[in-house]
A and B are shown apart, each in its own frame.
Chain A
Amino acid sequence: MNRGGFSWETGLNFWINRNKIVSLYGLDGNGDGKEDDDIANNWFIGKSLGSVYNYVFDGIVQASDTAFTRIYNDRPGDVKFKDLNDDKKLNAADRSIIGYTKENYTASLSNTFRYKGFELYFMFFTIQGGGKNNWYVGSNNYALNPSTWYPNVANWLDKDYWMPENPSNSIPKPNYVNKYSYNFIADRSFIRLQDLSFSYDFGNNILGKTPIKGLKAYLSGKNLFTITKWEGLDPETATTYASQNGFPVFKIVTFGLSLTL
């Protein structure tokens, strides 16, 4: 768009990808006529790569769930998992694909506004998960299982822990022992303002009589903010709090003058 010295350019990128494992090794050990999945590597015939195969989170065991605690030997404050085959036992057979680490779709939106010597450019980038397959999840023990920090000791995050007087249904008790090695998945969809720049070109009218041929002042920033429900350092790399080798995304702000003689 270009009208009266004002111009607007916009660009939209959208990317979606679906894949499916058709065949692995052609093995059928259990003789059911269907090729076997490779559970150890999280590869399932007919499913996408990046599957997360685990128990199904079903809230927190409450003091009133006496039938549940009796059958499954859990205590109030423990995570409640679904007994998928309803055999009154929680074991390996109750696992299923609870999500995928792969994204649902990726998109970016860029805009450039120009008015006289001013130019404003910004670009939003997003990776989205969700959907009925529960795309784009990451394991976030640190935010969702408080005892991961240091068993029995710390409740460093201000979370809605289950306590006898606080019957939370989302976060287990602070000294929960993660006995089924559940990986506490969380959605890591995010929208990020990846680039922003604002510049002013002084132009010939102003510079006309000086020896300077060109002068441009600019202010730009990268990763200025991220909108996400992910609790941790960076949703894109699934970096959690207290990560030993991960970093948050760096925010970079640059101010400059570009001078041409």
Chain B
Amino acid sequence: MKKLIFSIFIIAFLLVGCQSDKKFLTEIPTDRLSVDNAYLNYAQFKTALNDLYRLVRLNYNNRDNGEDYYHFGTGTDNLFVSTSDNARFTDWTLVNPTSGTLNLYWSNHFNMINQANNILAQTENPVVSLTAAEKLIVQAEARFFRAYAYRYLSFLFGGMPILDKPTTEPKLDYVRNTRAETDDFIIKDLEFASVNLPITTSEPGRLVKAAAFHYLAELYIAQGDEKKDASLYNKAIEAASIVINKQAGDYQLMTQRFGWRSNVPGKNVFWDMFQMRSTSSVSNYNYPSNKEAIWVMQVDKFLTGGLGVNLTTRTNQERAYWPSFWALTKFGYTGVARDWMGRGISMVRQTNYFNFQLWNNSGPDDMRNSPVNIQRVFVAPPPLIGGVERPGYDTTYVTTVRLFDGRDTVVRLKPGDPIKPEWLTSRQDTMERVFPRIMKMGSDWHYAADPSNGFAQESYAIRLAETYLLRAEAYMKAGNLTAAAADINVVRNRAGATPVTTAQVNIDYILDERIRELFGEELRTLTLTRLGLLYDRTKRFGYVVSQNTVDVKNNLMPIPQIVIDANSQAVFEQNPGY
């Protein structure tokens, strides 16, 4: 009897224990982190989102490698690799499905998509403790990033397979959706984000409504082009207008000097916009009175983790874009970089189209082309006496230069005397050492006066000036040239440039204006591939090697071969021509 009772008791106990098989069998690992147990509350979700911010930042500062600037327009109408004619994204015949750089950025953006999908799926998991409001914000940010990644891929590579769920098992049969389908998917995400993101944030760099409306305007234009549906241009105008009319936050173009260096004499407001932080103040990118910044890539040299994994001591804009005039060993230069020189190594150089024709077309009063913002005259430096720079010290530098016609001539310069172009006759002189220096890509002072590593500067991912130029494009495509000219002129008036006339407005003008305003900020290659104009613009305005090698197929980048190889159970279509 005793035995029987005991047995019944045991059986009952087991039955109770197995009440819900599923619950009983669900493993909850406590020794490791996964999506299921790492993202449970709002703070943890924010940590997950922070990694998406990091991935976007990699588009601006990644490795110490010139190829990383490819999406800023290398090999197109604004930039090229000047150290060699034999370089990817300058010689377009070298761009093919095996390019490691394309592969890297492809992976980064699919990584972003998967990460966003993980976050989105987990927000619906009943175990998480998010308030309804928190859940919407997390979803809005995650969907913004998913849209951001798909935007990057769709513009550069064309239609992509649409993934709206986390990938949990191997899948070898991805099939590309069309670009229109992809863009529709992006638009849905951005529409959700534009409703649910906050209007303002106390954390610089965090996403706000205006950012979603800005990209939404751009995507409506892209979709209008793709589907040949003019009504979408009106939707683009609406989305941009929400930002411009301050319905999504207090944004306006900066017209007055501002920021922590606003008292530096002789400069102008365009210069103020690109000043990195002092050791004690915030940067002008994040300055509270900067009403033009919508989304700023955050960096901080003085914060642990404030820089990247591959670039740990600085950001690289200055090094990449600036000429290496400091490395001259003539005209008084000693081959050593000084604080005010920066230490550019010319990984990329502006095209002659940018340096000359673009600004000639703009007229003489354009602030963005003033010597404050583009240094075109290089002078003999003050001498170093005992390793210290001595301004005002009188000396004469004697240099023998070989002129174009082969004659040698002796040049005598005092500190401050300009170096004349006719003395710069080697390829290295003009391609790497001395070409116009675009001041917004660097700084005239450095932390600890160290030109090599004393530089960490944010980047504008979205600035209101671009919203105006997007709306101008939408107006133009909707047939309203007057309104398009008016928008372009808002940007031009701030720069003190001659207004554009209605008759002048066309896509070329808008693309030109975009370089004048957004050089080094916009992902130029994405703009050109979005419009299908990379070939056309490069053929007309690119560096000569790019002009000679660019092909119509380059209007889209090649799908990495490694993706096609791995997708063995379905054909992952390569873009035509590759």
- Render B155-184 as a binary contact track against A, CB cut-off 8 A, 1 for contact: 000000000000000001100000000000
Q: Specify the chain A residue showing the minimal Cβ separation from B549.
A: A73
Is B229's beta carbon under 8 Å from chain A? no
Q: In the complex, are the beta carbons of B561 and A92 less than 8 A apart?
A: yes
Q: In the complex, are the beta carbons of A179 and B569 less than 8 A apart?
A: no
Q: Specify the chain B residue showing the minimal Cβ separation from A91.
A: B578
Q: What is the bound-complex CA distance between A74 and B91, given in angstroms? A: 11
Q: In the complex, are the beta carbons of A29 and B578 less than 8 A apart?
A: no
Q: In the complex, are the beta carbons of B100 and A181 less than 8 A apart?
A: yes
Give chain A interface residues in 79-115, CB to chain B under 8 Å.
91-92
Query: Which residues of the other chain, A, contact B97 by a CB distance below 8 angstroms?
Result: 91-92
Q: In the complex, are the beta carbons of B568 and A37 less than 8 A apart?
A: yes
On chain A, the number of residues with a Cβ less than 8 Å from chain B's Cβ atoms is 19
Q: In the complex, are the beta carbons of A29 and B172 less than 8 A apart?
A: yes
Q: In the complex, are the beta carbons of A29 and B569 less than 8 A apart?
A: yes
- Render B67-104 as a binary contact track against A, CB cut-off 8 A, 1 for contact: 00000000000000001101110010110111110000
Q: In the complex, are the beta carbons of A180 and B98 less than 8 A apart?
A: yes
Apart from the given pairs A40-B562, A40-B566, A73-B93, 19 other A-B contacts in the complex at a CB distance below 8 Å: A27-B568, A29-B568, A36-B569, A38-B568, A39-B565, A39-B568, A73-B549, A91-B96, A92-B564, A92-B565, A152-B83, A152-B84, A152-B86, A175-B84, A177-B88, A177-B94, A179-B88, A179-B93, A181-B100
Is B398's beta carbon under 8 Å from chain A? no
Q: What is the bound-complex CA distance between A36 and B173, given in angstroms? A: 13
Is A151's beta carbon under 8 Å from chain B? yes
Give chain A interface residues in 1-38, CB to chain B under 8 Å.
27, 29, 36-38
Query: Which residues of the other chain, A, contact B574 by a CB distance below 8 angstroms?
Result: 91-92
Is B18's beta carbon under 8 Å from chain A? no
Is B570's beta carbon under 8 Å from chain A? yes
Q: What is the bound-complex CA distance between A257 and B336, given in angstroms? A: 59
- Render A143-172 as a binary contact track against B, CB cut-off 8 A, 1 for contact: 000000001100000000000000000000
Query: Which residues of the other chain, B, contact A92 by a CB distance below 8 angstroms?
Result: 97, 561, 564-565, 574
**B173 shortest CB reach to chain A, Å:** 6
Q: Specify the chain B residue showing the minimal Cβ separation from A27.
A: B569
Q: What is the bound-complex CA distance between A238 and B405, given in angstroms? A: 52
Q: Specify the chain B residue showing the minimal Cβ separation from A77.
A: B86
**A29 shortest CB reach to chain B, Å:** 3
Query: Which residues of the other chain, B, contact A91 by a CB distance below 8 angstroms?
Result: 96-97, 574, 578
Q: What is the bound-complex CA distance between A27 and B172, given in angstroms? A: 10
**A94 shortest CB reach to chain B, Å:** 12
21 CB contacts below 8 A, A to B, read: A29-B569, A38-B568, A39-B565, A40-B568, A73-B93, A73-B549, A74-B93, A91-B96, A91-B97, A92-B561, A92-B565, A151-B84, A151-B87, A152-B83, A152-B84, A177-B86, A177-B91, A179-B93, A179-B96, A180-B96, A181-B100
Q: What is the bound-complex CA distance between A179 and B96, given in angstroms? A: 7
Q: What is the bound-complex CA distance between A91 and B564, given in angstroms? A: 12
Give chain B interface residues in 86-140, CB to chain A under 8 Å.
86-88, 91, 93-94, 96-100
Query: Which residues of the other chain, A, contact B88 by a CB distance below 8 angstroms?
Result: 177, 179
Q: Specify the chain A residue showing the minimal Cβ separation from B566.
A: A40
Query: Which residues of the other chain, B, contact A180 by a CB distance below 8 angstroms?
Result: 96, 98
Q: What is the bound-complex CA distance between A40 and B147, given in angstroms? A: 28
**A66 shortest CB reach to chain B, Å:** 16
Query: Which residues of the other chain, B, contact A36 by a CB distance below 8 angstroms?
Result: 568-569
Q: Specify the chain B residue showing the minimal Cβ separation from A55.
A: B98
Query: Which residues of the other chain, A, contact B568 by a CB distance below 8 angstroms?
Result: 27, 29, 36-40
Q: Specify the chain A residue showing the minimal Cβ separation from B84.
A: A152
- Render B537-578 as a binary contact track against A, CB cut-off 8 A, 1 for contact: 000000000000100000000000110111011100010001
**A247 shortest CB reach to chain B, Å:** 26
Q: What is the bound-complex CA distance between A175 and B83, given in angstroms? A: 11
Q: What is the bound-complex CA distance between A82 and B184, given in angstroms? A: 42
Q: What is the bound-complex CA distance between A176 and B564, given in angstroms? A: 26
Q: What is the bound-complex CA distance between A95 and B91, given in angstroms? A: 23
Q: What is the bound-complex CA distance between A74 and B83, given in angstroms? A: 20
- Render B223-262 as a binary contact track against A, CB cut-off 8 A, 1 for contact: 0000000000000000000000000000000000000000
Query: Which residues of the other chain, A, contact B565 by a CB distance below 8 angstroms?
Result: 39-40, 92
Knowing A40-B566, A92-B561, A179-B94 touch, does A29 contact B173 (C-beta < 8 A)?
yes
Query: Which residues of the other chain, B, contact A74 by a CB distance below 8 angstroms?
Result: 93
**A178 shortest CB reach to chain B, Å:** 9
Q: Specify the chain B residue showing the minimal Cβ separation from A24.
A: B568
Q: What is the bound-complex CA distance between A61 and B96, given in angstroms? A: 19
Q: In the complex, are the beta carbons of B98 and A179 less than 8 A apart?
A: yes
Q: What is the bound-complex CA distance between A151 and B88, given in angstroms? A: 11
Q: In the complex, are the beta carbons of A175 and B86 less than 8 A apart?
A: yes
Q: What is the bound-complex CA distance between A152 and B82, given in angstroms? A: 12
**B550 shortest CB reach to chain A, Å:** 12
**A90 shortest CB reach to chain B, Å:** 9
